[in-house]
Structure 1
């Protein structure tokens, strides 16, 4: 099971993969300003260097979910840490564009694994009444990782040290590798694959004694249904929820956040800011992102998930529309600080709603026996969405104006708002087993109604 440690350290280590995801997602934005001085890049190859990480993430998220259901969450995290280290070393030493792409592909495997495993692990370790805030640690660590990458980028800007920027991901990767020894396995996985005693021993670390018996009883009831992971994953009763979860994940990525994370310095450059000022602008955005995520952790278990998402949608769409109108009115060269302000406003609304709520809700939506695999499928779709933005944003900004591109993101935000209101279920305040039982009963009832009408 690993060395017994206190609750705070368990959740910190469990979420550390999110920090690495955020770091590798954010660091490329500053490094791109200097990579092109050593390695020639055009708009397509620039997008390829950024998006190749997401290609790797597609495979990593698709494979890590089923692997974690079979091997356990903890072992897969150990593998992910090793992959992060290898990828960071290749990037730091890359002599050419193809090697850069290779390093980003390898890093992507670990990123995909993190997006699939970290939310599941945190959700399964957390008591019901704290599941929202504790699961949100993943998003907090992602934002800290992004901010860390921006700070590192700024620190190495005077020497144009893009290799240092990319290579320093090794440090948290090694911490994660060592930290696995202090992480217990998920109690839900232990109950299914080891023993009730092993599950109870772990639950004593994070649950109140009065809660353990009920949680164990609920888990055993779900476990009594003899279905394999694959059968659950392809079952008609899960399919609608899997589609909803996947669309949810896709929308979070194409709503505009990744255009900001990957290309904010490039956008600021186009608005007339210098390299150092552009990177400093991203530091400000990254700081706001961290602070607002801390606010989200404090409120996420007090407000319904769907209400938060609706608030976020309205705020994000409004900030994009205001920015687009002002750029169109006064021109991009006069809009540098307007762009910074509007993107910061976008980050605020994303940071306390869509950012953390997705990572909380995905594991909540899926049943225990296929939670890792189903979250992996949604994470795979998420990576595809991130890939699309990373690859095509620089091309779009050459074909269209910046304000036209952000109007497209605003339209996607409106579609996301309709999706949340119409299709997404509410999960706050219910145990994972209660959500699963309700999902099964609702779907079985729907199937029965269909049969009756035939």
Structure 2
């Protein structure tokens, strides 16, 4: 029994480790940019391009990884993703010019896109229904730990302006993931579809009680009987509305302001009058808050409805952004008080995001989609997520330079209000239901709507 527990813990640890790499590569560039400029000249446009090139790669990575995981398996694809992380990190660390930087970030982006599509699917399919929220949230926790780790590395190498060490150290967790994935089991739902019922049963028994195993096997078989091929399910009229909802949900998570903070917090703090090292130290504080609040979210996410959490988060994030904009207009950015107001308000934003939208998205996305096309559909939603992240990364420096930081965060606040109405009106509740129950309800609901049209 003890060995079984260790095995279970390792399954979810290595299953979520791709999220750590995503977080590290997302956060490390924020500090590295302060020093890359000293070796490789950057304009506001090329600065945005260095940041956003990773997101361009992520668009392709998320778009292709979903269908590939449905065909070849989640485990095999994660192994290949770890190799791509290693290659991209080494290219970045050795970059002699802007072009090499962009190529390295593009390659990293392919792996990032793959991890955003596959990691939540794997965790969701491996987790028991009663703890799917907390275990699915491990992806977000790993992302926040990756971001915090990158901030700590940035701070450690700030005095020597060692940006090559900052970006290159991503090789370490990449190698750990590469080794760890060898010992991970394949998703039971993929095994049922591509291998055998017995193979799926063996993997389920690692994380379920015997009675739960038989119940889930029966549900999976029933759903599999009425399922078509992946591409037929993806193009079906009954899935299309849910796919659109999933894509909009993912897009909103990226354009409500979080990426402006993650990518450009040191730059914002630096422009507010804090020194390079102090600016990076400020981001370490924000990263630490992000991790602590996400851990708390894991403890309660299976006890509170997903939609309720999202609504609470929206209200808190919008309020913190409006407060930030008003205080900046009143006090100004140039004063030391203004700098610390930015730190306080952005930290408050992080608290509400990490408690709600951060983990809940990664839990709900794979919950929304049917077994036969879960990887591909989650990949499409991750593609929308990458597009949103790309837009923020590329245009935030230019828009904030033209309008001012306060006005830009007011725009994010308006987007947050739109996201609030979207959650209330369009997003279904998924807590406390098995993946098969959610899929069956999706089919019934869509069939009923089609019948009403006839």
- TM-score tier after normalising by the smaller chain length: over 0.9
Gaps of 5+ in 2: none
1:175-194 alignment runs, 5 A limit: 175-194=176-195
1:370 maps to 2:377: no
In structure 2, the residue matched to 1:168 is 169
Matches for 1:25-424 after TM superposition, within 5 Å: 25-334=26-335, 335-424=338-427
User: Residue 227 of structure 2 contacts residue 233 of structure 2 at CA under 8 Å; is this kept in 1?
Assistant: no
Q: State the Cα distance separating 1:202 from its structure 2 match.
A: 0.5
Task: State how far apart, in whole Å, the 2-side matches of 1:61 and 1:226 are.
Answer: 23
Say whether 1:447 aligns with 2:437: no
SS at 2:334 equivalent: helix
1 CA distance for matches of 2:104 and 2:316? 36
**Match of 2:142, SS?**
helix
2:227/2:372 contact within 8 Å kept = no
Q: Is the 8 A contact 2:366 2:374 kept in 1?
A: yes
The structure-2 alpha-carbon separation of the partners of 1:450 and 1:203, relative to structure 1 and needing over 3 Å to count, comes to same
Q: d(CA) in 2 for partners of 1:254 and 1:165?
A: 26
1:428 aligns with 2:423: no
- The alpha carbon displacement at 1:226 in A equals 4.4
Q: Moved runs in structure 1, 4+ residues, more than 3 A?
A: none
**C-alpha displacement of 1:231:** 0.4
Gaps of 5+ in 1: none
Distance in structure 1 (CA, Å) of the matches to 2:197 and 2:274 = 60
The count of aligned residue pairs is 449
How far is 1:6 from its partner?
A: 1.2
**SS of equivalent residue, structure 2 residue 185:** coil
Indicate the SS of the match to 1:115: helix
Deviation sequence 1:187-209 (CA, Å, 0-9, x none): 00001100011001101111111
Task: List per-residue Cα deviations over 1:195-227 (Å, max 9, x = no partner).
Answer: 011001101111111101110000000111241
- Once residues 397 and 307 of structure 1 are traced to their aligned partners in structure 2, the CA distance between those partners, rounded to angstroms, is 32
Equivalent runs, 1:5-20 vs 2, <5 Å: 6-20=7-21
Aligned-CA RMSD value:
0.9
Separation in structure 2 between the aligned mates of residue 352 and residue 187 of structure 1, nearest angstrom: 30
